[in-house]
């Protein structure tokens, strides 16, 4: 079976992003492990003492990477299942949609647009941060 070099590049870029994020949050984190599985566990462990809001950014980042992983595999279902539970950050409607062409989240409300008339749009990272923050708030309310 041929090795998919695009997939390897993507996985390597995702690993680099986790390492960079972790060292930014905790400069004294020590050496990062080499395997992806160990890397995520290491990042979680060394950032465990940070305030909840900072940990949420890491959760959002790993969520975004996992969604991107599905997208690279041709599966949009995980992305749409996150996007449809988030309201539009601007107009609060429930019309957010994933744009396969642009790899951004768009608002379907025609009155919700930017200064040049294009639909309001967010990166997958921004929507993942909202999602993680909302789920964390729900969990705080539930306990």
Binding mask 47-86 for Zn ion (x = CB under 5 A): ----------------------------------------
Total number of residues binding Zn ion (CB under 5 A)? 7
For the chain, helix, strand, coil in percent to 5 are: 55, 10, 35
Instruction: Compute CA 29 distance to the chain's CA centroid, rounded to the nearest angstrom.
Output: 22
DSSP code of 47? T
CB of 86 to Zn ion, least distance (A): 11
CB of 102 to Zn ion, least distance (A): 16
Neighbours of 53 (CB within 10 A): 10
Query: Is the CB of residue 119 less than 8 Å from the CB of residue 107?
Result: yes
Within positions 85 to 114, which residues make up the interface with Zn ion, using CB under 5 A?
A: 88, 90-91, 107, 109, 112
The residue ranges that bind Zn ion (CB under 5 A) are 88, 90-91, 107, 109, 112, 120
């Amino acid at each position: 079976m041929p090795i998919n070099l695009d997939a390897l590049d993507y996985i390597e870029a995702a690993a680099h992003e986790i390492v960079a994020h972790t060292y930014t949050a905790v400069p004294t984190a020590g050496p990062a492990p080499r395997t992806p599985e160990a890397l995520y566990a290491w990042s979680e462990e060394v950032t465990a003492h940070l305030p909840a809001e900072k940990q949420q950014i890491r959760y959002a980042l790993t969520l975004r990477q996992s969604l991107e992983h599905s997208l690279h595999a041709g599966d949009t279902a995980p992305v749409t299942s996150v996007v449809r539970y988030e309201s539009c950050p601007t107009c609060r409607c429930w019309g957010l949609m994933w744009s396969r062409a642009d790899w951004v989240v768009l608002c379907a409300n025609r009155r919700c647009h930017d200064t040049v008339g294009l639909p309001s749009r967010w990166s997958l990272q921004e929507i993942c941060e909202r999602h993680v923050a909302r789920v964390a708030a729900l969990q705080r309310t539930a306990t």
